[in-house]
Amino acid sequence: MEYIKQRLSAIYRESDTVKIWPELKGKLVEAKETPYKERKQRWDEKDIVLITYSDQFQEEGQPTLATFEKVFDRYLADKFEIVHLLPFYPYSSDDGFSVVDYKKVNPIAGDWEDVDKLSKKTRIMFDYVCNHISAKSDWFTEYKKGNPEYSGFFTEMDPNVDLSSVTRPRSTPVLTRFKMEDGSEKHIWTTFSEDQIDLNFKNPKVLLRMIDILLFYIEQGAEYIRLDAVGFMWKEVGGTCIHLEKTHQIIKLFRDIVEEVAKGTVIITETNVPHKDNISYFGNGSDEAHMVYQFPLPPLVLYSINRGNGSALTEWAKNLQPAGENTTFFNFLASHDGIGLNPIRGIISEEEILDLVTDLKREGAKVNYKKNPDGTESPYEINVTYLDALNKLSDNDELRVKRFLTAHSILLSLQGVPAVYIQSILGSRNDYEGAVKTGMNRSINRQKYSLDKIETELEKSGSLRSRIYGELTDIIQIRKAEALFHPDVPMEILEKGEKVFALKRGNDPQKSLINIHNIANEPVDYKISGSFINIITGEEMAFDGSITLSPYQFLWLKAI
């Protein structure tokens, strides 16, 4: 374990390392002796992730995890190999991301036995909310009481210090004023909200406590661990306080620990930032995150279909460097958050981003803004279901289905592990009532359902929800059965004009797969020759020069 001690020395002074190493080593020795569920080593084409809340489906008198298990068994188990359960711990705000107690299950969801039951049927991703904790937590309550055990757990700051260069993901202030039990006042660092108190990782005791949480999650069956808002963990006054070297070292330490204790556990970093910064969390390809979220993908696919022009998507995708032998991309289109815009700044002009925002607001989307260092505000994310983002209010359901499936074909075709949000698989529309009820724009894409209602709607033949569920899950199952979709199989982007997004998986012409997408609302000619099988329909197809693609048509063509 000496290499873990060396990693610790890259974070703290030698005196601090010497002080905390015996305790950390003891935790690791104990963890290694704990019997864990056997973990899959690496990933393959079958690995498709479902993103969901633990209370997504509800029935009276039942813990929501038990109800989710019913829906999963009936509708989802053969489609998804991994379930990302968004924070299922007790919380005070932000639909789970303001954790009150890291080691408890929200009573509405059930208990650890319910989590264990689900983990016996599928692999589970836990959220590790490592940057901040709830202002209602025992940790912060004891800190305000002056309990010395929690001294230095949070970042205190003189409100007169210039923090204008600090990267702001929200329009709220960096510091929040809190009254201590002794009557004094302190200003505490709160990156996201006054209810989400940043942990102070400069204090080695904080790191030890959070490693204890990490090991606990592994013990409870987490096979994928998502590091939420991880880019903000380390603070240095006078800079941006994001992506700092000590932050990277802490993530590398987390990877060292999971590799030592439960090899096969996957670390995923959630950093909703421009692409260059995002992929820095791969480290050197073997010492930091196993996967990083592909954050430019959701806004780029949306922009391309909205404009009927895939030039920006093609240019971006062709310049993607392979993730590396021991890493891969975590691809997605929709999640519990909005569609982030920061990741495409520098790929698409600011004028075009603002035009897209204006168009989507006109069609019913909500928008969240961030504060810039000069005091101005810029759109940070679009809040909308992905189905409604792709379509106009006046569109018919036939067009909605076509656009939606084309977008998800792109998602499922790209190199990496794809993830599908529960609202997408359900074909959900904007939940305006939910947004009004909570006062949060993000609630527009977080609707919860009674078990009776969702089963009735999914079984209603010909409905928009039923069609999207059926047709999307069909192509998911086809994707899982095709070895050329393995994340390690090479990808080549084919430049075939602005109205087409096309790519090839595999280097061998006799063992390759061409995925073609017409992203425009008009027929497009595509030049192609040879004999193929369309693996979606099973139809053999021969081309001698070109094919005409109907609006939003896509083909998965395997060479024969």
How distant, in Å, are the alpha carbons of 38, 261, 504 from that of 211? 21, 12, 42
φ and ψ at residue 168, rounded to 5 degrees? -115, 115
Res 372: pLDDT: 81
Res 295: pLDDT: 95
Sequence-distant (≥ 6) Cβ neighbours of residue 384 within 8 angstroms: 338, 339, 360, 364, 365, 366, 430, 444, 445
C-beta of residue 63 within 8 angstroms of C-beta of residue 505:
no
CATH of domain 1-43+54-133+202-290: 3.20.20.80
C-beta of residue 444 within 8 angstroms of C-beta of residue 385:
yes
Three-state secondary structure call for residue 456: helix
User: Structure tokens of 202?
Assistant: 């400069």
Per-residue pLDDT of the chain (560 residues; tens, 9 = 90+): 899 999 999 999 999 999 999 999 999 999 999 998 899 999 999 999 999 999 999 999 999 999 999 999 999 999 999 999 999 999 999 999 999 999 999 999 999 999 999 999 999 999 999 999 999 999 999 999 999 999 999 999 999 999 999 998 888 899 999 999 999 999 999 999 999 999 999 999 999 999 999 999 999 999 999 999 999 999 999 999 999 999 999 999 999 999 999 999 999 999 988 888 999 999 987 799 999 999 999 999 999 999 999 999 999 999 998 777 789 999 999 999 999 999 999 999 999 999 999 999 999 999 999 878 788 889 999 999 999 999 999 999 999 999 999 999 999 999 999 999 999 999 999 999 999 999 999 999 999 999 999 999 999 999 999 999 999 999 999 999 999 999 999 999 999 999 999 999 998 878 899 999 999 999 999 999 999 999 999 999 999 999 999 999 999 999 99
Bind-site residues for substrate: 94, 132, 226-228, 336-337, 442
φ and ψ at residue 526, rounded to 5 degrees? -125, 125
Res 399: pLDDT: 97
Res 510: pLDDT: 80
- Residues classed as catalytic: 228
- Ramachandran quadrant class, 439 (left: phi over 0; alpha: psi -120 to 50; beta: rest): left
Task: Give the domain ranges of the chain.
Answer: 1-43+54-133+202-290, 491-559
**CA 3 from centre of chain:** 30
Q: What is the dihedral of CA 407, 412, 413, 415, to 10 degrees?
A: 120
**CA 114 from centre of chain:** 23
Sequence-distant (≥ 6) Cβ neighbours of residue 350 within 8 angstroms: none
Q: Which CATH number fits domain 491-559: 2.60.40.1180, 2.40.50.140, 3.10.580.10, 3.40.50.150?
A: 2.60.40.1180
φ and ψ at residue 118, rounded to 5 degrees? -70, -40
